[in-house]
Amino acid sequence: MTKHYMLKILVCAVLFSLVFVSCNGHKEEYHSVMERIEAESEDYHGVTLSSEKYLEELKSIEITEGDFTFLIPERKSQIKSYACTECHTKSLNELQDSNIGKKAHWDISIVHANENIMNCATCHNINDMDNLKSLTNKRIDFNNSYNLCSQCHTKQFNDWKGGAHGKNIGGWAPPRAALTCVNCHNPHEPHFESRWPARFNTQKVKERE
Ligand code: HEC
Ligand code: HEC
Ligand code: HEC
Ligand code: HEC
């Protein structure tokens, strides 16, 4: 009985060390998946794979977050009412007084977290409107608004950095470029409704018969 047991343990140990050694061997060659893709896509059957032709039209910025460096679309030139300081040179009170009539941002209401958690000043700095702000009052550039989201949505942020949430532009060929949070989510109303696949509605047909 015990002999059997010892044998099993021995076999396991050998298998384990085999796996361990082979993994380690690979690790020495490449430090990350991206590194491996980059290295192996150079001169692939005489063709160099690159996402560059998909990025020609894109005004992008390079970011480095932890171990990941990639491109995301530049944002500020895309925001309709940027620069905010075209109007926000006076205090809010003064602006509100001088603005009798239609509310300036009538089309923006928060459908995100409830009002005990979040209001305009959670993300916008009333005294520095051209920048966003963190929960601890650190300045966040509008181009890097993913740093705003990442404070509360850590899981999606980590997935996004690695390429598991969101979308790469131009596939996985280097240089890597990905859409940023606000390209898909409206920060004021970020939720997407779940959608079911279209299907033939047999219930409706029955009701009509
Ligand atoms: C065309 C002028 C104009 C521009 C551009 C503008 N704002 Fe405003 N904003 C106003 C006025 C006027 C108010 C005062 C309150 C009102 O009328 O709703 C205001 C109020 C606000 C408030 C307070 C709303 C509230 O209910 O307390 C926030 C936050 C704000 N603006 C953010 C921004 C940001 C961020 C930008 C730039 C991305 C921006 N605004 C650009 C005119 C402007
Ligand atoms: C969860 C954070 C968050 C909250 C809360 C928030 N905003 Fe914003 N807001 C953003 C971000 C991020 C952007 C930039 C979006 C982009 O890049 O398109 C933005 C953009 C804007 C803009 C520019 C929109 C445009 O297209 O010109 C205005 C104006 C604005 N916010 C006003 C407000 C007002 C007023 C409130 C409160 C009613 C508010 N925001 C609440 C994060 C927030
Ligand atoms: C201060 C914390 C905070 C910040 C900053 C913040 N969120 Fe949220 N967000 C929340 C909370 C709280 C909810 C509601 C969660 C729920 O209902 O389960 C939420 C809900 C969401 C949802 C809907 C979740 C669902 O289940 O459908 C999305 C998408 C989202 N946020 C994206 C963003 C994006 C993008 C940004 C940056 C522009 C951002 N959030 C910034 C706290 C935050
Ligand atoms: C290419 C578009 C795209 C980008 C970029 C993107 N998201 Fe999403 N996100 C989605 C879609 C689509 C869903 C809805 C998934 C579903 O309902 O199953 C979603 C869902 C979410 C949710 C709801 C919870 C969940 O996981 O289903 C949160 C929170 C969220 N995203 C936050 C973020 C943050 C933070 C970023 C940036 C770091 C980001 N997203 C970038 C498309 C995107």
pLDDT tens track, the chain, 209 positions: 456 776 676 665 655 555 554 445 455 688 888 788 778 777 777 777 788 888 888 899 999 999 999 999 999 999 999 999 999 998 888 888 876 667 889 999 999 999 999 999 999 999 999 999 999 999 999 999 999 999 999 999 999 999 999 998 888 888 999 999 999 999 999 999 888 887 777 777 777 77
Residue 103 lies in a domain: no
Torsion angle, alpha carbons of 103, 104, 107, 112, to 10:
-100
Element holding 41 (H helix, E strand):
helix 33-41
What is the per-residue pLDDT for 34? 78
**Ligand 1 binding pocket includes 72 (Cβ within 6 Å):** no
In a domain, 123, yes or no: no
Which ligand is closest to the CA of 101, given by its number? Answer: 1
Establish if 39 belongs to a structural domain: yes
Residue 167 domain-assigned? Answer: yes
| Whole-prediction pTM | 0.85
Strands (E) located in 54-138: 60-65, 68-73, 132-133
Dist. CA 110–CA 91, nearest whole Å:
22
pLDDT attached to residue 147 = 98
Ligand 1 atom at minimal distance to the Cα of residue 98: 12
- Predicted pLDDT at 204: 74
Does any domain span residue 17? no
Question: What does the pLDDT read at residue 176?
Answer: 92
Residue 51 CB–ligand 3 contact under 6 Å: no
Residue of minimum CA distance from atom 3 in ligand 4? 166
pLDDT (0 to 100) of residue 23: 47
| Residue 73 neighbours by CB distance under 10 Å | 19
Which protein residue's CA is at the shortest distance from atom 17 of ligand 3?
A: 113
The answer to whether residue 145 is domain-embedded is yes
Between the two ends of the chain, the Cα-to-Cα distance in Å is 71
For residue 14, the model assigns a pLDDT of 56
Nearest bound ligand to the CA of residue 96: 1
Residue 201 included in any domain: no
Q: Is the CB of 124 under 6 A from ligand 1?
A: yes
- What is the span of the domain harbouring residue 175? 31-98+141-180
Using CA atoms, how far apart are residues 85 and 170, in angstroms rounded to an integer? 35
State how many domains the chain has.
Answer: 1
Biggest CA pair distance of the chain: 90
Q: Is residue 36 part of a domain?
A: yes
* pLDDT for residue 118: 96
